[in-house]
Amino acid sequence: MATDIIKLAQAEWQLGPQFNQGGFGSIYETEAADGSPAVIKLVPKAPGASRELLFEPILDRANIVPILDSGEWQNYYVLVMPRADKSLRQYLGETGGVLTGDEALRILIDVAETLANLEQDVVHRDLKPDNVLLYQNRWCLADFGIARYAEATTSPDTHKYAFTPPYAAPEQWRSERATPATDVYAFGVMAFELLQGHRPFSGSNYREQHLNQAPPTLMGCPASIASLVTECLYKAPQARPTAANILARLRVSQRPSSSASAKLQAANHKVVVQAAQAGAAVSAQQSVEEQRTELYSVAKQSFSAILDALTERIREDAPSVAVTREPRLVVRLGDGTLVIDDMKSAPVNCLAAFDKQAGFDVIAYTAITVRKPKDRLGYEGRSHSLWFCDAQHEGVYRWFELAFMLHPFIDESRSVVPFGLPPTSKEAAEAFYPIQSDRQLEWGPAPFDQGQETQFLDRWVEWFAGAVDGTLGHPMQMPEGPRGQYRLPS
């Protein structure tokens, strides 16, 4: 076979020596017309899988190894790619699997940048160090479409090739559809491996471990990075951060952080680990209700971290503050009061109105309020709703902050402006429909977790301080807050 010439769409290629056996195909040396080294990948034609499955629609994207030529030859589909310097797997072998934190971060940023550019269009399905190649001084992804091709075959060994067990997400073990969150999970496994020198699960039983066991705690790396990796490894795909969120947080982690930020990151990491453990405990069986239970557990754990950070921040700034936690959080100082209601579970489709499907799904909800004695105009504070939901992107659940206001022409007044509403109320549901309702959105929905907790804390600490010293006043204009995007009802 070493002397064979393969004629494809763009050129003729001489099949050189074989130098690697991939998970789904063999790789041979060849040479481009300009003399640059290239490789030929021969993928065996398998029953039930067409050639088109091998070629994902990827054009002009960062950090992707390009396909130079393609076609068919004998009983193979053929892909020709430029030869990379080495794979990440080879590099880990050269270094003994031990990388510095900065080096691991550079590699992860390259990979995250690619996933962020692709997450609305393409799912890789088999992300692992073997498919991350050093090409033109960047760590790039290769083998798009290989796993999709394998999934379509009727071979009894389909699952052997459709994913790589050490990096396979829980949903892949359950034979569910792969999504961008599937790649995020594999990214988390790979990130853990780069940062710790070994993978999170040993492989005594990969299926059991990926489905039901929480990953070990990362050691020797910043809390912000440890939290991020653990979030990527959440059992519920909807609770994992998006690739864009991962990329932004990796870049931010390169900047120096204050001692206060480091303290908050450490507190956040502690609860993220608890959330991962809680998620692992309920991941064995999947149904609509079980999935909601799992997401509620994640919501409770992540919100608990934010509550702890808020109360700790207030206690540090005002040691004489009085704090009670049962059944809801109440913080008192002088004439000012801050209250956070007990978190509740939201029923399915609770935001439905006018005989239409709700625009997005709410898993859990609560509210935060600051109050002071009424002033001469009858104003006494403000309240915001806090919902754990997929307001912006279907299936991507986060904590969102939002608030409501009265329609300007409604003959009604409130002493708390803006005000929160539960997602179970008719007024809240109607506010999300494109009609003139009595209640309208005044703030958000705006996310306040996954790296954005500091702004949330600063905002409510300042408003609480205003309630204490009497400077908290009615908003000067309405609406005043950020206008968040959200999915419309159908």
Tens digit of each residue's pLDDT (9 = 90 or more) over 13-39: 888 888 765 556 788 998 887 888 898
Could you tell me whether strands 381-389 and 132-135 are parallel, antiparallel, or unpaired per DSSP bridges? unpaired
pLDDT at 328 (0 to 100): 92
CA 400 to chain centre: 15
pLDDT at 157 (0 to 100): 44
36 domain-assigned = yes
pLDDT at 289 (0 to 100): 77
322 domain-assigned = yes
Domain's final residue, options 41, 67, 82 = 82
Domain's final residue, options 238, 259, 286 = 286
d(CA 179, CA 176): 9
CA nearest neighbour of 188 among 174, 288, 180: 180
441 domain-assigned = yes
Model pTM?
0.77
d(CA 421, CA 445): 13
In this structure, what token pair is assigned to residue 416?
A: 């708390």
277, 179: one domain: yes
172, 316: one domain: no
Domain's final residue, options 82, 103, 129 = 82
Which residues does 17 contact at the CB level (< 8 Å), separation at least 6? 2, 28, 29
DSSP symbols for 165-196: GGG--HHHHTTPPP-HHHHHHHHHHHHHHHHH
276 domain-assigned = yes
91, 221: one domain: yes
68, 92: one domain: no
**CB–CB of 164/126 below 8 Å?**
yes
**Structural domain for 406, as ranges:** 301-469
Task: Quick: pLDDT tens for 400-419.
Answer: 999 999 988 888 899 999 99
465 domain-assigned = yes
Question: Alpha helix (H) ranges present in 325-435?
Answer: 426-431
d(CA 17, CA 129): 23
422 domain-assigned = yes
Instruction: Assign residue 354 a region (left: φ > 0; alpha: ψ between -120 and 50; beta: otherwise).
Output: left
In this structure, what token pair is assigned to residue 470?
A: 């009497």
pLDDT at 118 (0 to 100): 85
d(CA 239, CA 397): 5
229, 182: one domain: yes
64, 107: one domain: no
N-term to C-term CA, the chain: 58
51, 117: one domain: no
115 domain-assigned = yes
In this structure, what token pair is assigned to residue 286?
A: 């999947």
321, 463: one domain: yes
103, 62: one domain: no
369, 232: one domain: no
CA nearest neighbour of 274 among 206, 227, 327: 227
362 domain-assigned = yes
281, 352: one domain: no
110, 54: one domain: no
| Number of domains the chain contains | 3
Q: What is the mean pLDDT of each run of 10 residues along the chain (490 residues)?
A: 76 84 74 85 75 63 83 86 92 92 95 89 89 94 74 48 84 88 97 96 89 91 93 94 95 81 81 78 62 90 91 94 91 97 94 88 97 95 98 93 91 94 95 86 93 92 96 92 87
CATH of the domain at 44: 3.30.200.20
Which residues does 426 contact at the CB level (< 8 Å), separation at least 6? 353
**CB–CB of 400/450 below 8 Å?**
no
Q: Estimate the crossing angle of helix 453-469 against helix 259-281, to 10 degrees.
A: 120
CATH of the domain at 175: 1.10.510.10
pLDDT at 287 (0 to 100): 54
Please work out, in degrees rounded to the nearest 5, the angle formed at the alpha carbon of residue 27 by the alpha carbons of 21 and 28: 130
